[in-house]
Amino acid sequence: MATRLPSEYDDRREALATYFDSTARQAWIDLTSDAKVSGIRATVRAGREAMRATLLDWLPLDLRRTRVLDAGCGTGAFAIAAACRGAEVTGIDVAAGLVDVARERTPSFIGHGRIHWRSGDMLDSGLGTFAHVVAMDSLIHYQPDDLVDALSVLAERTTNSILFTFAPRTTLLAAMHNIGKVFPKSDRSPAIVPVAEDDLRARLSRLSGWSIGRTERIASGFYTSQALELVRHG
Cα separation, 73 vs 80, in Å, equals 10
Number of domains into which the chain is organized: 1
Residue 1 lies in a domain: no
Q: Please report which confidence band the pLDDT of residue 178 belongs to, taking 50, 70 and 90 as the band edges.
A: low
pLDDT in tens, 25-60: 999 999 999 999 999 999 999 999 999 999 999 999
Task: For residue 41, give the nearest of 53, 29, 52, 23 by alpha carbon.
Answer: 29
Cα separation, 177 vs 36, in Å, equals 27
Structural domain boundaries, residue 178: 7-232
Q: Please report which confidence band the pLDDT of residue 6 belongs to, taking 50, 70 and 90 as the band edges.
A: low
* Phi and psi angles of residue 153, each rounded to the nearest 5 degrees, phi first: -65, -45
In the prediction, which pLDDT does 184 show?
Answer: 39
Find the CATH number of the domain harbouring 68.
Answer: 3.40.50.150
Q: Which helix (H) or strand (E) holds 171?
A: helix 171-180
The model's pTM is 0.90
Residue 216 lies in a domain: yes
Residue 2 lies in a domain: no
Cβ atoms of 13 and 85 within 8 Å: the answer is no
Residue 20 lies in a domain: yes
Residue 100 lies in a domain: yes
Residues 6+ away with beta carbon under 8 Å from 17:
94, 95, 96
Residue 67 lies in a domain: yes
86, amino acid identity:
G
Residue 101 lies in a domain: yes
pLDDT surpasses 70 at 150: yes
pLDDT in tens, 179-232: 444 333 444 456 889 999 999 999 999 999 999 999 999 999 989 999 999 999
